[in-house]
C-alpha cells in the first residue's frame, strides 16, 4: 500500500506518458517534496527495488566465492557489471569462460537499480532504494547534498534523468500568496533542473531528461509555462490527473526532452 493518495497521481501520469517505464534509460531520479513518500515508493518499484527476495538472495550468494572462480582480473560480461570477482588465496582459477547469469550490479544495494534521491522538510520513514535528505530544498546548501549523491552514481558531470516535484508550501488562505509561493518553487526547481537534468547533448542519445512538477492553475503560472518551460523543453504539457481532486487548483507540468 502507498503512503499517500498522491502516489496514484504519479502512477496515472506514468501510465499515460511512460516517463519512468524504461529502466535502462532511467537510472537517477530526484523526488523533491517527497514526504510521506508515496511517489518515492512508486519510483522505487518502477526501478525494481522491490525485487523478489529469492532473486536478491541468489544475487547475494553469487557474490560470495564458492569453489569455481574466473581468472584473476576477469570482468563480468553481464550488462552494466564492471568489477572483478575476488579470488581467495590458493584457489585455482577455472579455465572456462565465465558468464554472469544475473545482472548483479543491478541488484547491488550500493549502486542499486538506479539512484533515487528524496528531499523534504519533514521526516520520512525509510524506503529501500531511496536516499533521503531532510532539508529545505530552497536553502542553497541542499543543492550540494543532492549533487553529491548524483556524482557518486554518475561521476563529476553526471546528471539526473528524471526530476519530480510535488512540493507545495503550506496554504496561507490568501490565493495570491499561494500562487506566489508556488511560482517561487517552480522557478527554483526549473533553475535547479537546468544545472542537474540530463540534456540531449549531455547524454548523446538525443533524449533530454524529464521534469514533472506541481503548480497551481493561474494566469501567472501560464505565463511561466510559456516563457520558461516551453523554451527549455521539447515537449511541455499540463496534466490534471483524475486522482487529483477537481476542486483543487493543483495540476502538473510534464516537461520532456530537456534541451540543455
Ligand atoms: N509526493 C508526496 C507523496 O507522494 O507522498 C507528497 C508531497 S506533499 C503534497 C508536499 C511536500 O512538500 C510536503 O511534505 C512538504 O513538507 C514538502 N515541501 C514544501 N516545501 C518544501 C521545501 N521548501 N523543501 C522541501 N520540502 C518541501
**pLDDT the model gives residue 59:** 57
The pairing of strands 210-216 and 162-165 is parallel
Question: Among positive and negative, which fits the CA dihedral 61, 65, 67, 70?
Answer: positive
**pLDDT of the residue at 143:** 97
Which of 12, 35, 127, 137 best tests ligand 1's pocket when mutated (most atoms within 8 Å of CB)?
Answer: 35
Which three-class secondary structure state does DSSP give residue 171? Answer: coil
> Sheet harboring 28-32: ordered strands across?
130-134, 115-120, 28-32, 162-165, 210-216, 250-258, 233-239
Rounded to the nearest 10 degrees, what angle do helices 175-196 and 140-154 cross at? 30
241 contact partners, CB below 8 Å, separation of at least 6:
8, 9, 12, 13, 252
- The percent of residues in the chain predicted with pLDDT above 90, rounded, is 54
Tell me, yes or no, if 58 is annotated catalytic: no
Question: Which residues of the chain, if any, have pLDDT below 50?
Answer: 63-112
Residue of 71, 194, 214, 249 marked catalytic: 214
Q: How close is the Cα of 35 to the center of ligand 1, in Å? A: 6
Q: Which CATH architecture has domain 6-51+113-258?
A: 3-Layer(aba) Sandwich (3.40)
pLDDT at 108: 41
Domain boundaries of the chain, sorted by first residue: 6-51+113-258
For the Cβ of 145 lying below 6 angstroms from any atom of ligand 1, the answer is no
Distance 227 CA to ligand 1 centre (A): 25
Give yes or no for residue 6 CB within 6 A of ligand 1: yes
Q: Give me the interface pTM, i.e. the ipTM.
A: 0.99
Cα(162)–Cα(220) distance, rounded to whole angstroms?
25
Please report which helix (H) or strand (E) contains residue 55, including its range: helix 53-63
Amino acid at each position: 500500500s502507498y503512503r499517500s493518495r498522491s502516489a496514484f497521481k504519479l502512477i496515472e501520469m506514468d501510465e499515460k506518458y511512460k516517463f519512468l517505464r524504461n529502466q535502462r534509460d532511467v537510472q537517477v531520479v530526484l523526488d523533491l517534496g517527497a514526504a510521506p513518500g508515496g511517489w518515492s515508493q512508486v519510483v522505487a518499484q518502477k526501478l525494481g527495488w522491490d525485487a523478489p527476495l529469492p532473486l536478491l538472495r541468489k544475487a547475494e550468494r553469487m557474490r560470495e566465492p564458492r569453489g569455481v572462480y574466473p581468472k584473476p582480473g576477469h570482468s563480468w560480461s553481464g550488462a552494466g557489471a564492471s568489477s572483478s570477482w575476488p579470488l581467495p588465496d590458493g584457489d585455482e582459477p577455472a579455465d572456462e569462460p565465465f558468464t554472469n547469469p544475473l545482472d548483479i550490479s543491478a541488484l547491488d544495494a550500493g549502486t542499486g537499480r538506479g539512484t533515487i534521491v528524496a528531499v523534504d522538510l519533514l521526516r520520512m520513514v525509510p524506503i529501500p532504494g531511496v536516499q533521503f535528505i531532510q532539508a529545505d530544498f530552497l536553502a542553497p546548501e541542499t543543492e550540494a547534498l543532492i549533487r553529491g549523491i548524483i556524482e557518486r552514481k554518475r561521476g563529476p558531470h553526471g546528471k539526473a534523468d528524471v526530476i519530480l516535484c510535488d512540493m507545495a508550501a503550506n496554504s496561507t488562505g490568501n490565493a495570491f500568496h499561494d500562487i506566489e509561493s508556488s511560482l517561487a518553487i517552480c522557478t527554483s526547481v526549473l533553475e535547479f533542473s537546468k544545472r542537474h537534468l540530463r540534456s540531449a547533448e549531455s547524454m548523446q542519445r538525443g533524449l533530454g531528461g524529464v521534469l514533472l512538477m506541481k503548480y497551481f492553475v493561474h494566469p501567472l503560472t501560464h505565463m511561466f509555462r510559456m516563457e520558461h518551460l516551453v523554451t527549455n523543453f521539447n515537449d511541455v504539457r499540463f496534466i490534471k490527473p483524475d486522482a487529483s481532486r477537481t476542486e483543487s487548483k493543483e495540476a502538473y507540468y510534464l516537461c520532456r526532452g530537456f534541451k540543455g
